[in-house]
């Protein structure tokens, strides 16, 4: 999705707005950055992971975001709930029972040593005391599949945004329009043709399946 991003990168926008969205079949589909892994190693910094997600079934375990094993973040739907896990353990479990065939805005945001989980702008579960020094490995994070190649997401992801700052500390109105802050200067032109959207970055060209 992006190559040779600067080390002081503040924001990484994957997909900007419907109708250009990821379509994932749950059987190995995912996307990942080709940028240096350090861009997505949050360390002990503030960060925000957010996206819109749509799936017909929320009862099964499905992966929205996964940075790998160890001290890495993972965001999933599980048993009709939104969960946030670190080091293989659930840190925050949502309280809202999710419904299939529904668009949800999901977000996890850390401020200092406090991490919060949000669904449609409403905090899910309690504040979590988070002193994790987050790591990341090459070709991570994955959007739509966990790093073991299982628990794939079946449906659509849209407006994925990864930010090295805390955006949400309390309930908020989820963004409805496309993000105005983008990395198009780094990602190059977006070309739509025959149902595909192509991000061009330097010498690398990567394609993602989209649906109208």
> Which DSSP string corresponds to 113-179?
TEEEEEETTEEEEEEEE----B---TT--EESS-TTS-S--EEEEEEEEEESS---SS--PPP-SPP
Q: Bridge partners of 11?
A: 163
Selected residue with higher pLDDT from 129 and 205: 129
Q: 75 with 106: CB under 8 angstroms?
A: yes
Q: What span, in angstroms and rounded, lies between the C-alpha atoms of 171 and 63? A: 24
Structure-token pair, residue 89: 């353990």
Q: Using omega within 30 degrees of 0 as the cis cutoff, is the peptide bond preceding 35 cis?
A: no
What pTM was computed for the model?
0.79
| Count of Cβ atoms closer than 10 Å to residue 92 Cβ | 22
Q: 164 with 39: CB under 8 angstroms?
A: no
Q: What is the tens place of the pLDDT at every residue in 63-114?
A: 999 998 789 999 999 999 999 999 989 999 999 999 999 999 999 999 999 9
Task: Please report, to the nearest 10 degrees, the dihedral formed by the alpha carbons of residues 91, 92, 93, 99 taken in order.
Answer: -120
Cβ-Cβ contacts under 8 Å for 194 (sequence gap 6 or more): none
pLDDT of residue 182: 37
């Amino acid at each position: 999705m992006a190559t040779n991003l600067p080390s002081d990168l503040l924001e990484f926008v994957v997909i900007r707005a419907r109708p250009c969205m990821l379509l994932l079949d749950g059987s190995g589909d995912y996307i990942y950055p080709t940028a240096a892994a350090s861009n997505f190693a949050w360390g002990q910094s503030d960060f925000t992971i957010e996206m819109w997600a749509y799936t017909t079934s929320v009862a099964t375990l499905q992966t929205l975001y996964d940075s790998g094993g160890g001290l890495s973040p993972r965001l999933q739907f599980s048993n009709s709930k939104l969960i946030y896990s670190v080091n293989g353990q659930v840190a925050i479990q949502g309280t809202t029972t999710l419904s299939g065939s529904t668009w949800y805005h999901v977000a996890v945001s850390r401020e200092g040593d406090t991490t919060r989980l949000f669904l449609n702008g409403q905090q899910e579960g309690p504040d979590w005391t988070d002193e994790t020094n987050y790591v990341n490995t090459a070709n991570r994070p994955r959007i739509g599949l966990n790093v073991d190649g299982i628990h794939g997401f079946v449906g659509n992801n849209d407006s994925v945004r990864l930010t090295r700052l805390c955006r949400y500390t309390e309930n908020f109105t989820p963004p409805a329009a496309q993000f105005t802050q983008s990395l198009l200067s780094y990602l190059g032109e977006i070309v739509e043709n025959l149902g595909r959207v192509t991000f061009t970055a330097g010498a690398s060209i990567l394609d993602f399946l989209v649906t109208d």
